[in-house]
Amino acid sequence: MERTVLPEAGVPAEALDQELDSLRADDVHGHWARAGRGPPDVQRVAQAAYARFRDDNGIFSLRAPAMKRIEGAVTDMCLSLFHPPPDAGATFTTGGSDSNYSALHAMREWAREARPQAREPEVIAPHSAHPTMSKGCHYFGLKLVRTALGADRRAAPAAVRAAITPNTIGLVGSAPCWPFGLYDPIPALGEIAEEFQLWLHVDACVGGYFAPFAERLGVKLPPWDFRVPAVQSISADLHKWGYCPKPASTVLWRRDDYKRFHYVHPSDWPGGQYTTAGFAGSRPAGSIYAAYAVLRYLGWAGYLRLARQVLADKERLEQGISAIDGLVALRTDLLPVAFGAAPGVDLARVKGEMANLGWTLLSTADPPLINLPLDAAADERVLSTFLKELALSTQRARAAGTAREELRY
Ligand SMILES: *Cc1c(COP(=O)(O)O)cnc(C)c1O
pLDDT tens-digit profile of 52-98?
999 999 999 999 999 999 999 999 999 999 999 999 999 999 999 99
Tell how far CA 24 is from the center of its chain.
24
Which top CATH class is 299-400? Answer: alpha beta
Question: Is the pLDDT at 406 greater than 50, yes or no?
Answer: no
Instruction: For ligand 1, pick from 94, 101, 205, 210 the residue to mutate: most ligand atoms within 8 Å of CB.
Output: 205
Residue of minimum CA distance from atom 4 in ligand 1: 96
Ligand 1 centroid to Cα of residue 315, in Å, is 24
CA distance 240 to 36: 4
For residue 107, the CA-to-ligand 1 centroid distance in Å is 18
Give the pLDDT confidence score for residue 407 in this predicted structure. 42
Probe target for ligand 1 pocket from 130, 177, 334, with the most ligand atoms within 8 Å of CB: 130
Residue 252 has pLDDT above 80, yes or no: yes
Q: Please compute the mean of the pLDDT values over residues 109-132 and round it to a whole number.
A: 97
Which residue's alpha carbon is nearest to atom 12 within ligand 1?
205
- By alpha-carbon position, which residue is closest to atom 10 of ligand 1? 96
Among 92, 93, 97, 98, say which to mutate for ligand 1: greatest number of ligand atoms within 8 Å of CB: 97
Residue 239 Cα: closest atom of ligand 1: 7
Residue of the CA atom closest to atom 14 of ligand 1: 205
CA of 130 to the centre of ligand 1 (A): 7
Separation of CA 97 and ligand 1 centre (Å): 6
Q: Which CATH architecture has domain 44-296?
A: 3-Layer(aba) Sandwich (3.40)
Please list every protein residue whose CB sits less than 6 Å from any atom of ligand 1.
95-97, 100, 130, 132, 174, 178, 203, 205-206, 237, 249
Q: Are 260 and 232 in contact (CB under 8 A)?
A: no
Confidence band for 408, pLDDT divided at 50, 70 and 90: very low
Between the CA of 235 and the centroid of ligand 1 the distance, in Å, is 9
Q: Where in the chain is the domain with CATH 3.40.640.10?
A: 44-296
Q: How far is the CA of 270 from the centre of ligand 1 (A)?
A: 36
If one counts every other C-beta atom within 10 angstroms of the C-beta of residue 275, the result is 11
Percent of the chain having pLDDT more than 70?
A: 98
Atom of ligand 1 nearest to the CA of 130: 11
pLDDT at res. 1: 78
CA distance 208 to 38: 16
Residues 95-117 pLDDT 10s: 999 999 999 999 999 999 999 99
Q: State in Å: Cα 148 to ligand 1 middle.
A: 21
Q: What is the location of CATH 3.90.1150.10 in the chain?
A: 299-400
The pLDDT tens digits of the residues spanning 297-317 come to 999 999 999 999 999 999 999
Distance 404 CA to ligand 1 centre (A): 36
Q: Which atom of ligand 1 is nearest to the CA of 129?
A: 13
Q: What angle do CA 145, 146, 148 make, to 5 degrees?
A: 140
129 CA distance to ligand 1 middle (Å): 10
The per-residue pLDDT for 402 is 55
**How large a percentage of the chain has pLDDT more than 90?**
95
* Ligand 1 centroid – CA 109 distance (Å): 23
Atom of ligand 1 nearest to the CA of 96: 5
pLDDT at 368: 94
Tell me the pLDDT tens digit for each residue of 170-210.
999 999 999 999 999 999 999 999 999 999 999 999 999 99
How many angstroms separate the alpha carbon of residue 263 from the centre of ligand 1?
21
